[in-house]
Chains A and B, each alone.
Chain A
């Protein structure tokens, strides 16, 4: 891996590692193992002791599983070293000097708490991709079940476990954090900043993710939580397989991680721009991440609250969602969707940002309507908070809320349409380079428009009532989250692969990956619109005999889709390992991250960047976005 540079002789490894002591007392995997076990023991012993003292039976499943899943991740995070610096800071102990935990000097540094945004970005991307593969395998498993209506590979509980973990992993552990990973690597560079505003917070955000993911994946050992990724009460509060804790706590850790990252991005973007980088010179990816971060900060507490309430109902027998005792099940859906609808934009806006970058660079034209694109991003963010109840049209929603929610939902098509038209107008008369990232961007335009149009259909009350809980909705969500978000993630991964790894990916394999994915994706999900309209219900392990032919076809295409992803895995590994060294700026892009070496220097810039123009002046000879000034070297200002 070429990100690894030879360690300078004076480099000291991450703080604490030199301070003597054994592997059990300094930050790292051994201490993490030890503290995880200790935390687990305490999480059993303390509640057990209290319960014995009060005179209750010492073991109670809900209490113990909840305590375990709160304590063990915290034990792991402390053990691996996420809190060491703050602990010393708070009590006023001498702090470790310098940048010992910044930057990767060997592959081992990727397995440590590291504060370099580029290392964290790679940690995010690799981790989330592993979860993408796990989530994908779950999908292949239930597509095998669905290949014929009479298959019996899984019981209906196991089937529900598969679909629930599939959705939760894809949403909370792939799409949302994968965008955070790309942004982590790219945004500070685009801003001309040395790092994020809070590098240690950034590290903590990352390390929360694998813990959240392991909690969710671990539930598969017992068959998986099976309440759907929405975990509607009272299904979740009275789930007979009783694995709600896995979902509750997995969501809490993933959610905390994304809130902390969002705080970090907002402060970074507002305070750490290079001189000359006015708001109207920011690349659109930065605008997208600023808006997304605002959505995360303001929205995510609602899903946290909804999962707390479910947990209280399950563990402490409160009555939030118990209708007989004054609770309300619709309330769960209101609070849940108040986050989870904006979450759709959390999962899409960063992708819009990526597409703006890729299309402008690859069409060699200034982006059409920079301001319109930036403002439509912000207005999608604002409008996104006013549409949540369109998920509840058939749930017994207050009737007066229906039409307003239908109207606001349809309104969101306006800023989204502005984006689509701006991208198409950018392509018009462009000198288009059909390299792999551009193929993904064009594929995105195609599939996302289909997903957007079916979204407008679903906003319309009578149609929504007709197709609720059918495969039409499944088709729609996959057209926007796979054809939308995942396509943009791939566009971004190919686009920045040379910058991140310092190697070129294999163009031929990239194109195979795209075309196979594009064809099999559409073949998998387009027929589902049709099946949904005919009344095939989602979240059921079997279906009516008359849908059998289409479902066999869909399952086969789903296997092709899965196989296509392996091409990417192979391409990424082989190119990273022994690919052609990448030039600094293979796409001849103007934004700052392309003006530094590939991969970038450990501290990002050799000179001080000063922004002198817009980021998208392509096709204009001599246009510059940034110049580097050789500044006199003074003392580090950290």
Chain B
């Protein structure tokens, strides 16, 4: 039995082992984990709409307003960052290290800009008295946008790690799983924001409960 310690593996994997179709198992793990993330956001969306529909004839209550316009700029920034992320990934697949570096750098900068602008938005809302402890309408708003902001932060850490590794000469056209995984995570965060911006900002600002 102890011989196994020296000779792990029993003849190599059969073809297709560890994958489903072309899907690598690490990639698949990330996708399943993201399904879990979708449900986490789902729970906070549930809270948002529950509160908005059952307790507020007009959302948000007078005199507050959800800053649709300024956050629209932020949305554009985050959407653009998905394109630069894709550029980075395509670059390394073609062996273009400069494209990878610049793509990651731009994505990271835009991600951090998004976070900065969101902090500014929070500060402005806070100045108006739109604070998490003011009422449930604000609690659900800050919980949703804050949860998303936390994900942007995690994504930025992943991007920074990828960038660091790129600068140290890692990744090649054949091996760049780190970039690919971070990219999928980043696109996920981006898509969640588009949904969040549509539902919480565009469609909810000044919305009346259907009664």
Contacts and interface: CB of A to CB of B under 8 A. Distances in A.
Question: Which applies to chain B's interface (DSSP): helix, strand, loop or mixed?
Answer: helix
Interface in A536-552: none
B197 interface: no
Contact of A8 (B2, B35, B56): B2
Interface stretch (B98-106, B111-119, B160-168): B160-168
A325 B44 CA distance: 18
Interface in A199-238: 201
A635 B136 contact: no
Contacts of B61: 326
Question: Which applies to chain A's interface (DSSP): helix, strand, loop or mixed?
Answer: loop
Interface string A299-338: 1111011101100110011111010011110010011001
A299 B6 contact: no
B20 A263 contact: no
Contact of A603 (B8, B143, B161): B8
A318 B133 contact: yes
Nearest to A90: B161
Contacts of B25: 197, 267, 271-272
Interface string A56-91: 000000000000000000000000000000000011
Interface residues of B, number: 57
Interface string A598-638: 00011101111000000000000000000000011111111
Contacts of B142: 318
A300 B33 CA distance: 12
Contact of A305 (B19, B44, B54, B55): B44
A18 interface: no
B124 interface: no
Nearest to B36: A297
A634 B54 CA distance: 64
Contacts of A338: 43, 46
Contact of B29 (A263, A320, A335): A263
Contacts of A320: 47, 51, 136, 139-140, 143
B210 interface: no
B139 A327 contact: yes
Contacts of A322: 136
A312 B137 CA distance: 14
B22 to A, nearest CB: 12
Task: Determine the interface band of chain A, counting residues with CB < 8 A from chain B.
Answer: 35 or more
Contacts of A304: 40, 43
Nearest to A326: B136
Contact of B139 (A300, A318, A605): A318
Interface string B18-49: 11100001101100110111011011101100
A608 B133 contact: no
B39 A302 contact: yes
Contacts of B54: 328
Contact of B13 (A319, A602, A606, A637): A637
Contact of B43 (A305, A327, A605, A634): A305
28 contacts: A8-B3, A90-B161, A90-B178, A92-B165, A99-B5, A259-B36, A267-B32, A275-B14, A297-B35, A302-B39, A312-B132, A312-B139, A316-B132, A318-B133, A318-B142, A319-B136, A320-B140, A325-B134, A326-B61, A328-B54, A328-B136, A601-B1, A602-B5, A608-B10, A631-B10, A634-B12, A636-B7, A636-B9
